[in-house]
Amino acid sequence: MNIEEIVMYPTQLVHVETTFINAKKVSESVSTEFTISAEIKGEIMNENMGKSIINISVQNDGYQIEEEKVGIFKFEKEIEDAFRAQQFMEVQGARIMWSYLREDLYTVSSKMLPKPIMLPTIDVMRTLEKAQ
């Protein structure tokens, strides 16, 4: 399947919410090592709705912040190809909701750390094309 086919699917993001956030100090030692892991999945909700779920975990300076963000997509037409719709929600969820995650993690970490965590920007399309 061509990436452009997934990106151009007729749909709209209609709702975004944070369903989980946890921030804690995990180590007394201050380390400048920055680690990040993220997972995204798409789910069909009904014949014209789907959701993207992003889970992210970041560690820096002895702190760990975890967050789950959910985006609800409304499809213009009834979903006929569940696999393709699920792929769309994973691709578009990463593209659209990454900026929401960046802002959340920056805000939370600014309350905890002298140097807040700023997630890097990513070129989602290039990353996905390389993964193909």
Q: If pLDDT is split at 50, 70 and 90, which confidence band does 117 have?
A: confident
What is the predicted pLDDT for the residue at 12? 86
Question: What is the signed CA dihedral for 118, 88, 69, 122, rounded to 10 degrees?
Answer: 0
Question: Facing residues of 36 across strands?
Answer: 58
Q: What is the pLDDT of residues 9-61, one digit of tens each?
A: 678 889 999 999 999 998 887 666 788 898 999 999 999 999 999 999 998 88
Tens digit of each residue's pLDDT (9 = 90 or more) over 58-88: 988 888 999 999 999 999 888 888 888 888 8
Torsions phi, psi of 48, nearest 5?
A: -140, 20
Distance (Å, whole) CA 16 – CA 107: 17
**Domains of the chain with bracketed CATH:** 3-131 (3.10.420.10)
Q: Among candidates 56, 15, 9, 6, which has minimal Cα distance to 34?
A: 56
